[in-house]
Amino acid sequence: MTTTTSPAATSAVHRLWRVSCGFTLDVTAACQVVLQVAPAASAGNRLEESLVVTLDGAPVPVATMTTAHEGLAQVVSVSEGRLEMSYAAVLGAIGAPVPDPRRDLDDEQVVYRRQSRYCPSDEMMGFFAQELGHLEPGADRLLAVADWVFERLAYEAGASGPLDTAADALFAGKGVCRDFAHLAITALRALGVPARLVAVYAPGLSPMEFHAVVEAHLDGVWWVLDPTRLAPRRSLLRVATGRDAADTAFLTVLDGTAELLANEMTVTIDGDLPLDAHEDLVPLP
């Protein structure tokens, strides 16, 4: 697929992002595969976009569906063989995001207060009441939770597995970006703050991979927090949003059997990366 924006839209672009990723899978039993690699519709103007999917070199039909928070997912159904997928896009952002305050209680605030698969906030409520219950509601509390997670966990590639929860990360004292995000989300929900996980493209991240950050609700606005402090938040591109990693995986095999053999990703942004001391609240498009 290929899309382009109008000349009027491109003329107003302030900054360009270039993203690409590729996956190779060995499919040993017919399966459906869901990809969540395209930036969300809200992330910016798509100036160029392509997705190529082949099975043993032959093109495979792709179905696109809309997910929560303007996310996009691609679904392919294939038989046995070597499945290869390649995605690339150039996006332009138009100015700074303008939050749309909604102060009344809505379904998102209810859903993202609840415990979820990787964020057992109900089981850890007593712990966080002792650790962080003294924090007063407001912006400082959100930032203090992110700081607490940053100081509590050590970032270590391969330190956790796909079944590990926020409690596992806390006990281990280490993890990867999804563990940092899960622990911050769990703490925020235990304190009564709606919080959710966002999978993003993160220019400047090293090594380059999909990144997980947190959005927390305050005064009608969803604010992005990155407890890892590995990437500037103003450079992030939203991909998928959900309760936790179960909703935001970049690749999911729904049925059948497939083994991921290789994957790669690159993302760059024009100009210098913005500075980020992680001392203020920032909205994510």
**And the tokens for 85?**
């997928």
Given a cut of 90, whether residue 99 has pLDDT beyond it is no
pLDDT at 95: 56
What is the rounded distance in angstroms from the CA atom of residue 136 to the CA atom of residue 141? Answer: 6
Given a cut of 80, whether residue 159 has pLDDT beyond it is yes
Helix-, strand-, coil-residue percentages of the chain, each rounded to 5? 25, 40, 35
Of 17, 8, 3, 86, the closest CA to residue 232 belongs to 17
Name the β-bridge partners of 242.
Answer: 197
**And the tokens for 150?**
């940053």
Helix (H) or strand (E) holding 149: helix 139-152
pLDDT, tens only, 230-262: 999 999 999 999 999 999 999 999 999 999 999
Whole-number average pLDDT of the chain: 91
Q: Model's pTM, two decimal places?
A: 0.90
Note whether 229 and 194 are within 8 A (CB).
no
Supply the Cα-derived Rg of the chain in whole angstroms: 19
DSSP string, 240-278: EEESSHHHH-SEEEEEEEEEEEEEEEEEEESSPPPP--S
What is the rounded distance in angstroms from the CA atom of residue 285 to the CA atom of residue 265? Answer: 21
How many other C-beta atoms are found inside a 10 Å radius of the C-beta of residue 42?
14
Cα atoms in the 13 Å half-sphere on the side-chain side of 194: 17
Note whether 193 and 142 are within 8 A (CB).
yes
pLDDT, tens only, 174-195: 999 999 999 999 999 999 999 9
Note whether 76 and 32 are within 8 A (CB).
yes
